Amino acid sequence: MDTQSKLDILSRDAQYDLSCACGTKNPEEHRKRNAAGSGWLYPATTASGGPGIMLKTLLGNRCTNDCKYCPLRNNQDFRPVALAPKEMASFFYEFQSKRPLVGLFLSSAVLGSPEKTMGMLIDTARILRTSYRYRGYIHLKVIPGSSKESIDEALKYASALSLNIEAPGEHHVAKLSDTKNYVQDILEPLTYIASQTAKGSRYERVHTSSQFIVGASDELDKEILLYTSRLYRELHMGRLYFSAYQKGLGEQSLPGEQRQQPRPQLELFDLGLLPEDNQASLTREHRLYQADWLLRKYGFSYEDLLFTKEGNLCLDRDPKLVWAQANPQFFPLSVKRAPREALLRVPGLGPTYVLRIVNQRRLSPLTCLEDLKLPFSVLEKARPFLTI
């Protein structure tokens, strides 16, 4: 097979990593498959804060692991494909020279062993950095079970590293895979990455992230968010992602050689195309992202988050509104005097609008809420919790 034919298969298989596939209602902010079939184009933010596009694809698709949520697990029947590091580096460099990109997000199934696969990922990044003098963004997905030596080598060339934590705790991961050791393959490498990228360390410039596969086990939202808060507090993780497990995604019924035909694809932001169970999974994913933002950007702690008696977030209301309605004694807040930290607790108000309020009240007197010049939908959501 030529490189383009391999990339066509690998880009289809990359669709099963659903991170950030359905985070907002704006289709322009969702991933799109490249028209040439060579990968997925993801919206990204540049170092200067502006918009950009990042290419995401796989280096190989035949995995030796048996993760029950993954269509690429080792007992599935499909055509194995892998690119050599030189092929991937050459393709990406030529591709980004024709279309400006923020960078490359490169992942892979486990091809034989974690060390072999990490070697191929690292070689791709090394070729781009040394042979092509590429200075853009390179995100490498660390393979579970990778050694400290491989991680050290990856840190030399990567702008960002991520390793999926997958589930909140050893007993949940054990339900998803018989081949992974949660402590040795996931927790220890994550901890080592954190130690090598901590503030003041040699590689503090390298961004770190991880991802939960939501709903593949019987984990609860309160378990996921407890681990989330600890990953931020103890490992100083840069960002966490939540990928809703989609039942039936990638399953095939065609026998033999016919399985090499393109797999059915699903635009995940079109919720009307999804079975009802999967729609609920994506709503759950969205609520987890909202709770994550409360922890990272709004000054909330894990103890502030409220859950149903079953231990999950409320699906029909966002977690900040749930907190506000459960704490009526905190409101209404004076837009003239309330501190920034308190205003961030108001439903509808994010950091940008709160900063606008704080700046505006310094410059001119406020006589009514309309003086805030907030969008109508935002003001109506915030109105019950504010006073002049």
Q: Are residues 116 and 26 in the same domain?
A: yes
The better pLDDT of the pair 15, 173 is held by: 173
Is 293 found in the same domain as 247?
A: yes
CA-based max dimension of the chain? 74
Judgement on whether residues 282 and 338 belong to the same structural domain of the protein: no
Give the pLDDT score at 68. 79
What CATH number should be reported for the domain holding residue 124? 3.20.20.70
Residues 142 and 252 in one domain: yes
Distance of alpha carbon 109 from alpha carbon 130, whole angstroms: 25
> How much of the chain exceeds pLDDT 70, in percent?
80
Together in a domain, 361 and 249 = no
Residue 12 CA to residue 80 CA, distance in Å, equals 13
Please tell me the predicted confidence (pLDDT) of residue 8. Answer: 80
CA distances from 15 to 12, 263, 382 (A): 6, 10, 37
Last residue of a domain, one of 271, 304, 337: 304
Q: Which two tokens stand for residue 345?
A: 């607790």
Of 234, 233, 215, 237, nearest to 224 by C-alpha is 215
pLDDT band at 273 (very low <50, low <70, confident <90, very high): very low
- pLDDT 10s digits, 157-168: 999 999 999 999
Domain end among 235, 270, 304: 304
- What pLDDT score does 4 carry? 82
pLDDT at 73: 75
CATH number at residue 332: 1.10.150.320
- 270 and 336 share one domain: no
248: left (phi over 0), alpha (psi -120 to 50) or beta: left
Phi, psi for residue 11 in degrees, rounded to 5: -70, -35
Q: Tokens 């939501």 identify what position?
A: 214
pLDDT at residue number 16: 62
Same domain, 272 and 348: no
Total domains present in the chain: 2
Same-domain status, 355 and 280:
no
Q: Quick one: 115 and 166 in the same domain?
A: yes
Residue 167 CB partners (closer than 8 Å, separation 6+): 173, 175, 176, 212, 213, 216, 217, 219
- The pLDDT value given to residue 114: 95
Is 239 in the same domain as 370? no
Question: What are the φ/ψ torsions at residue 312 (nearest 5 degrees)?
Answer: -120, 165
Please say which residue of 304, 335, 358 terminates a domain: 304
Domain of residue 338, residue span: 327-387
pLDDT over threshold 50, residue 355: yes
Q: Do 300 and 340 belong together in one domain? A: no
Lowest model confidence (mean pLDDT) among 15-24, 199-208, 256-265, 280-289 = 256-265
315 lies in some domain:
no
Residue, of 67 and 292, whose pLDDT is higher? 292
